[in-house]
Amino acid sequence: MKRVIGVDAGSTLTKLVYKEDGRMHYKKFLTNDHLFIRQLLKLDPVDSVVVTGGRADLWRDMKNVPLHEFDAVTLGTRELLKQEGNSLDEFILVNIGTGTSFFRVKKDEYERVLGSGIGGGMFMGLGRRLTGVTDFEDLAGLAEEGTRKNSDLLVGDIYREEEVGIAPHLTASNFGKPPSSAESPGDQLRSLTNMMAETMILLSMSIAPQTSKPFLVFVGNGVEGNAALQEDLGSFREWLKYTPLFPDKGGYAGALGAYIQGLNSQNGH
């Protein structure tokens, strides 16, 4: 059987999924690392390479099978959920890459309903402008250490809860407090992740099925490894009644979907 490699070539990161020596491998590198790509192009020509993502054109010199990125990410997400015992018939899929796509997924079909420029690219770009930090992991770590109460104007800063019936820690105005010596770079980043989460949750719930507690599944490199964003994405469930899920290896959903498609093609499916 030919070896299959699933590739998700995003605008910032390229992800690979393949099986070797009896176990699955998950790799990622900067998309503009052309030397790495040239090395990969020297792989055994009998390999079956399925490529998806916005920069799939970088792989045109390798004989490959193209796969639409929406097909890939939904296929890969279903597999990740299945591996964790969550074989859902219906859910909202939120793919947080450089930008964010929102899908309404049902048992045998899906529909991409919305897209937003609020995603990992915004976290990196605005985070860099706020703090001067350029590394994603460093930014995510700072956000996890921060508290947004020093940057955001909260409902509790204006009203008593009994006056308006709104939880005091909810946001009245993002970044609404004037700068002060108490505000750290981590506080600013935590306000940023919360602002992103608020927007993503409201957009997700606007397309969610009218069930008692819809499932919202978050994948993509913009959320994987960003504990602050994951926590913020789950912080509104008491009021909006949803169940957030963050599959392990969610940053590789597209590449995994490409890999599965390669296997299916080999098996004649």
pLDDT digits (tens, 9 = 90+) for 20-54: 888 999 988 888 776 666 666 565 555 678 888 88
Q: What is the pLDDT of residues 122-177, one digit of tens each?
A: 999 999 999 999 999 999 999 999 999 999 999 998 987 777 777 888 899 999 99
Q: Which two tokens stand for residue 58?
A: 């970088």
CATH 3.30.420.40 domain span(s) along the chain: 91-246
CATH 3.30.420.510 domain span(s) along the chain: 4-83+253-266
Mark out the alpha helices in the chain (DSSP H runs): 34-40, 69-83, 120-131, 136-145, 161-164, 185-207, 227-233, 237-240, 253-266
CA dihedral 57, 251, 124, 32 (to 10 degrees): -30
Q: What is the pLDDT of residues 238-256, one digit of tens each?
A: 888 999 999 999 999 999 9
Work out the pLDDT band at 116, boundaries 50, 70, 90. very high
pLDDT for 239 equals 85
Give the position of tokens 């008593």: 160
pLDDT at 223 over 60: yes
Please indicate whether residue 137 is annotated as part of the active site. Answer: no
pLDDT for 176 equals 96
Higher pLDDT, 211 or 179: 179
pLDDT for 12 equals 84
Rounded to an integer, the average pLDDT of 56-80 is: 83
Domain 4-83+253-266 has CATH 3.30.420.510: yes
pLDDT for 61 equals 64
% of the chain beyond a pLDDT of 70? 91
Domain 91-246 has CATH 3.30.420.40: yes
Higher pLDDT, 43 or 195: 195
69, 183, 198, 224: which one is catalytic?
Answer: 69
